Amino acid sequence: MTIAASLPIARARRNLAPLCVTAATFLLLLVSGDSLLHDPDTLWQIKVGAWILDHRAVPWTDLYSLTRQGDVWLSTSWLSQVLFAATYSHWGWAGPVVLTAAAIALTMGLLLTFLQRHLELPYALVFCLLAMTLAAPHLLARPHVLALPVMVAWTGGLMAMADRSRAPSFLLLPLMVLWANLHGGFVLGLALIGAIGLEALWRAAPPRRLALAMRLAAFGLGALVASCCTPYGLDTLLGAARILSLGKSFSIIAEWRPADFSSFSPFAGALLGLLGLGLIRGLTLSPPRVLLILGATWMALAHVRSIETFGVLVPLVLAQPLSGWIRPASDAPRGLRMAPGAPAALAAVAIVLATASATATFAARHTFEFSTAQTPVAAVDLLAERKAARIFNSYGFGGYLIVRDIRPFVDGRSELYGEKFLMDYFAAEDGRNVSGLLRMLDDNGIDATLLTPDSPAAQILDHIKGWKRVYGDKIAVVHVRDDTEGAAAVPSK
């Protein structure tokens, strides 16, 4: 009787766990909300979103840059940009912080929900904590974060169908529509249809495989059509393809660089743990699951921004095979529905109301601020006073220049500039091609530069005739053309 009486309580605790984790994650991120505002790309994302709201249209050409004005540019994250702009216009920086924190918290809640289909709560929580830790460096107020819960829901839905040897439900297709409007990473979702579909075919009985393959093909076609349900239509795929065609420039942009193992990191620990799990416990997976894990690992090794995908995808792939190992002998309830009865419903309502109340109270008393390390305010004020119009800037300053209505030489919209331009730019800015730097300044009629203090190009211009440093602080240095030889430079602050 004691055991029987405890089962409803255990089920309620288990089924309330995703909501509790969502609320706890959200409040934790809210308290540390300034850490979400450390990426200069957030600035131009809001600027583009405001333009879309003002014009009731999406951009088809570049509106902001100095070097690519009028070139084709499609905003594959237009919906995220609108959400950021709308929340910022109403609540200042508190808006994007709350929006970003809610997306991350929802991601953790959904991940826990899917993992609990096969794993007990403690083990599912460990995987959620691992995913959060791996994604932490890239959890910023940017469109990819708003798409994270959609990615988890999509991937979890596909894996749930594959675990039952069934084709995905067409009810998942609205998720692809939403994903395609939020972020260009929706192409990963399209690729996962084939990869996870192989697992469903592998598990299916041979007589069912042909019919299952036909349904998978129909679902894949439907997903492809759904991905084009955006203001850009078929051109949505073109915009995503331009991002994937940056080639060698990926290795230069910080978030696209390969993973660095010169020092220990959570990602290194996760890989070693995965390897140890396979060696110690003799982990045996089906070939499609092995391919999924190898693919996620390769993506994370090739580009650090894919580490978050690794942290989400690998637990979902491993959950079902691990369920027979670490699940206790007793058959605990696996249902995802909340336990019946008023107590569980009241508990859920109380959690939601408490979270909303805490959010309102904290946001009213705390002023969120964008990272000053990304905003060269004083330097740009000086450039504005000097009426500098053609500025050669460091990559990270492009977003702030856009916000100040100054056309940047380059900014975070890498797909706009293309591989060759970016390779030439970084070679010049990094001091690897001095003649290329001077030629770039002359060919583009540059009359001032805005560079980071540690930029090799800034150090070079200190010794080049015809240029002089007129300002410097811990964030940025400014050089302007000086046709008078021997002119004295203004000392840096």
| 84-107 per-position pLDDT tens digit | 999 999 999 999 999 999 999 999
Q: What's the full length of the chain, in residues?
A: 493
Confidence at 486, pLDDT banded by 50, 70, 90:
very low
Write down the pLDDT at residue 266: 86
The pLDDT value recorded for residue 342 is: 58
Q: Which residues contact 6 (CB under 8 A, 6 or more apart)?
A: none
Q: Please list the helix, strand and coil fractions of the chain in percent, rounded to the nearest 5, in that order.
A: 65, 5, 30
What integer is the mean pLDDT of 447-466? 92
> Which pLDDT does position 353 carry in this prediction?
86
264-273: Cβ within 8 A, 24+ apart:
266/130, 266/133, 266/134, 266/136, 267/134, 267/300, 267/307, 267/310, 270/130, 270/134, 270/310, 270/311, 270/314, 271/297
- Report the C-alpha gap between 262 and 87 in whole angstroms: 40
With 0-12 / 13-18 / 19 or more C-beta atoms within 10 angstroms meaning exposed / middle / buried, residue 152 is: buried
Question: In the chain, what are the domain boundaries?
Answer: 2-37+93-350, 374-481
d(CA 152, CA 172): 12
Closest CA to 23 of 454, 353, 284, 327: 353
Give mean pLDDT, residues 387-410.
92
Average pLDDT, the chain: 86
Are the C-beta atoms of residues 111 and 24 closer than 8 Å to each other?
no
Q: What is the pLDDT of residue 9?
A: 39
Confirm if 125 and 112 have CB atoms less than 8 A apart: yes
| Rounded Cα–Cα distance for residues 289 and 143 (Å) | 29
Give me the sign of the Cα torsion angle 266, 272, 275, 276: negative
105-141 per-residue burial string, b: 16 or more CB within 10 A, e: under 16: bbbbbbbbbbbbbbbbbebbbebbebbbebbebbbbb
Cβ neighbors of 69 (< 8 A, separation 6 or more) are 62, 63, 407
pLDDT tens-place string over residues 228-248: 999 999 988 887 777 776 667
Q: Over 60: is that where the pLDDT of 340 sits? A: no
Q: Would you tell me how many other CB atoms lie within 10 Å of the CB of residue 153?
A: 20
User: Is the pLDDT assigned to residue 329 strictly greater than 70?
Assistant: no
Q: Which two tokens stand for residue 227?
A: 């991905």
Give the pLDDT confidence score for residue 194 in this predicted structure. Answer: 92
pLDDT value of residue 355: 87
Among 141-150, 250-259, 309-318, 431-440, which stretch is predicted with the lowest mean pLDDT?
A: 250-259
Quickly state the pLDDT bin for 352 (edges 50, 70, 90).
confident
pTM of the full structure: 0.87
- What's the CA dihedral at 133, 138, 140, 144 to 10 degrees? -110
Tell me the residue type at 348. Answer: A
For 265, phi then psi, to 5°, come to -145, 165
Find the mean pLDDT for residues 438-465: 92
Mean pLDDT over 156-177 rounds to 93
In 10 A of CB 350, how many CB atoms? Answer: 10
pLDDT at 148: 95
- pLDDT tens-digit series, residues 2-12: 333 333 434 44
256: confidence class by pLDDT, cuts 50, 70, 90: confident
